[in-house]
């Protein structure tokens, strides 16, 4: 079964947009259509825009309440590149 029959191409494009740049060359081998898409200037522009808008940091926001119902907010910032995230308690 061909990959094109499993997923609509617009869905494939949206998935590819979210991949890291260094992983894209592997996916060019999946099909001629994927290779053509990844090499197109239009896709490369969309990929760049998505990467700039989403940014690299992984952000996790947590709301915590103490036993006396007082609010404690915490923000955990990390990156895909680091193992030790930074924690800020507000």
Asked if 51 contacts 21 with a C-beta cutoff of 8 angstroms, the reply is yes
Every domain of the chain and the residues it spans: 3-54, 57-89
Conformational region of residue 31, where left means phi above 0, alpha means psi within -120 to 50, and beta covers everything else? beta
pLDDT digits (tens, 9 = 90+) for 9-30: 888 888 888 788 888 899 899 8
The Cα–Cα gap between 88 and 85 comes to: 10
Q: Is pTM, for the whole model, over 0.85? A: no
Q: Is residue 73 over pLDDT 90? A: no
DSSP character at residue 2: -
pLDDT digits (tens, 9 = 90+) for 34-58: 999 999 999 999 888 877 777 554 4
Nearest residue to 75 via CA among 58, 65, 66, 62: 62
């Amino acid at each position: 079964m061909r990959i094109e029959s499993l997923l609509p191409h617009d869905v494939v494009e949206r998935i590819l947009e979210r991949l890291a740049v260094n992983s894209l060359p592997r996916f060019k081998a999946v099909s001629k259509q994927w290779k053509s898409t990844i090499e197109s200037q239009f896709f490369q522009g969309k990929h760049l825009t998505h990467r700039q808008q989403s940014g690299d940091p992984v952000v996790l926001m947590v709301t915590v309440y103490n036993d006396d119902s007082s609010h404690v907010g915490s923000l955990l910032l990390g990156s895909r590149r680091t193992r030790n995230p930074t924690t800020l308690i507000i």
